[in-house]
Amino acid sequence: MERQTDKKRQYGNWIITGAAIVFAALAVVVCLLLRPKAGAYDRFVIRYGDGKSIEIPAWETRTIVIRDGEIVEEATGADAENIIRIENGEAWMEHANCPHGECMRQGRLSAETVRTRPLGTWIVCAPHKVYIEFTGGAQ
Ligand SMILES: [Zn+2]
């Protein structure tokens, strides 16, 4: 009788060990599947003017001034102007003289914020038709 109980216990241990191994393997597979794809969100595309756009790698540090649908060297505060800043993988509207400054309130666009921002991968300045999109991969 005692021997049989031992055998049962041993059998139970094997089941527990087996289940633990299967669980660990599943956890590894899930982690691999959920890992962000290489190249996801690696650049900002700024659209402006009538169908013009530039792409800036997310790791660059840049300040872009757009005035009346053109990229210009310096901000003057005159006319329709947007100042876009890209730094440490983040992009944001540093300054804009659009009527309500909505674009400045849209916050920072980065790999961390895309899931929680109301506008997702976009910063939009509708009055000036200036759009920043965070994109990546082979698109
Ligand atoms: Zn704006």
Q: Is the pTM of this model over 0.85?
A: no
Give me the domain span that covers residue 96. Answer: 43-135
For ligand 1, the distance from its centroid to the CA atom of residue 131, given in whole angstroms, is 9
**Backbone conformation region of residue 2, classed left if phi is above 0, alpha if psi is from -120 to 50, else beta:** alpha
| Contact criterion met (CB below 8 Å) for 85 and 60 | no
| Contact criterion met (CB below 8 Å) for 131 and 106 | no
- Could you read off the pLDDT of 75-95 as tens digits, one per residue? 998 899 999 999 999 999 999
Give yes or no: residues 26 and 47 share one domain: no
For ligand 1, the distance from its centroid to the CA atom of residue 39, given in whole angstroms, is 29
Amino acid identity, residue 14?
W
Give yes or no: residues 112 and 131 share one domain: yes
Q: At 11, which helix (H) or strand (E)? A: helix 2-34
Give yes or no: residues 47 and 111 share one domain: yes
Q: Is 100's pLDDT higher than 60? A: yes
Note residues around ion ligand 1 (Cβ under 5 angstroms): 96, 98, 103, 125
Give yes or no: residues 112 and 61 share one domain: yes
Half-sphere exposure (Cβ direction) of 33: Cα atoms closer than 13 Å: 6
Domain count within the chain: 2
For ligand 1, the distance from its centroid to the CA atom of residue 99, given in whole angstroms, is 7
Structure tokens at 69: 């649908």
For ligand 1, the distance from its centroid to the CA atom of residue 62, given in whole angstroms, is 19
- Could you read off the pLDDT of 59-79 as tens digits, one per residue? 999 999 999 999 999 999 889
For ligand 1, the distance from its centroid to the CA atom of residue 139, given in whole angstroms, is 27
For ligand 1, the distance from its centroid to the CA atom of residue 18, given in whole angstroms, is 59
End-to-end alpha carbon distance in the chain = 68
pLDDT at 39: 56
Give yes or no: residues 91 and 121 share one domain: yes
